């Protein structure tokens, strides 16, 4: 079956919301794996907290589907698939004393992708005049930016 062509901003928003749901599902899976790989209790706690936030972000996306009257389905998120695969490969190759750094670096890469995705979604939803949707997406973006700052601070501590 051929993929449907995206022809207008509304279809783009629909597709990107579906992709964001996949992105967050991948993130949740990866966070659980990274939490297991991390050796430091502070890092494990950071991943556990972000897993809780990710569940909130998924709930926000589910609200977006409802507000826009979209069927709740997913679309591919190849970037997050790649980030998750790369993290697993690095963890398999690396000495366990490097697992904290690898876990935090991998999570930081994922956060940066999520920040980019939500930035685009917020701007697109604002341009389509769906303020209630933009607010939910902005809430997710704010959490992603905060988590990115926490991860960066943690990585700086680990590398000094």
**pLDDT > 90 fraction of the chain, expressed in percent and rounded:** 91
Query: May I ask the CATH class of domain 9-68+77-158?
Result: mainly alpha
pTM over 0.75: yes
Q: Is the pLDDT of residue 137 over 60?
A: yes
CA 140 to mean position of chain CA atoms: 9
Angle 155-19-126 from CA coordinates, rounded to 5°: 90
Q: Is the pLDDT of residue 74 over 60?
A: yes
For the stretch 150-159, pLDDT in tens is 999 999 999 9
Average pLDDT of the residues in 73-101: 92
Please state the length of the chain: 160
Q: Cite the DSSP H helix spans in the chain.
A: 9-37, 41-67, 78-93, 99-127, 131-158
Average pLDDT of the residues in 144-148: 97
Closest to 107 in 3D by CA, of 40, 32, 55, 42: 32
Confidence of residue 4 (pLDDT cuts 50, 70, 90): confident
Q: Is the pLDDT of residue 1 over 70?
A: no
For the stretch 18-38, pLDDT in tens is 999 999 999 999 999 899 989
Neighbours of 139 (CB within 10 A): 15
Distance CA 138, CA 5 (A): 27
Distance CA 137, CA 128 (A): 13
Confidence of residue 3 (pLDDT cuts 50, 70, 90): low
Confidence of residue 52 (pLDDT cuts 50, 70, 90): very high
């Amino acid at each position: 079956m051929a993929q449907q062509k995206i022809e207008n901003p509304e279809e783009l928003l629909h597709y990107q919301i579906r992709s964001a749901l996949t992105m967050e599902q991948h993130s949740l899976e990866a966070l659980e794996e990274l939490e297991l790989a991390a050796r430091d209790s502070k890092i494990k706690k950071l991943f556990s907290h972000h897993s809780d936030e990710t569940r909130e972000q998924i709930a926000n996306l589910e609200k977006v589907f409802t507000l826009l009257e979209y069927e709740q389905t997913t679309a591919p998120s190849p970037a997050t698939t790649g980030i998750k695969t790369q993290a697993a490969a690095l963890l398999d190759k690396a000495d366990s004393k490097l697992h904290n750094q690898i876990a935090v670096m991998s999570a930081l890469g994922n956060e940066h992708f999520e920040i980019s995705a939500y930035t685009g979604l917020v701007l697109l939803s604002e341009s389509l005049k769906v303020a209630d949707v933009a607010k939910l997406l902005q809430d997710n973006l704010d959490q992603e930016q905060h988590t990115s700052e926490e991860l960066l601070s943690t990585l700086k501590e680990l590398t000094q």
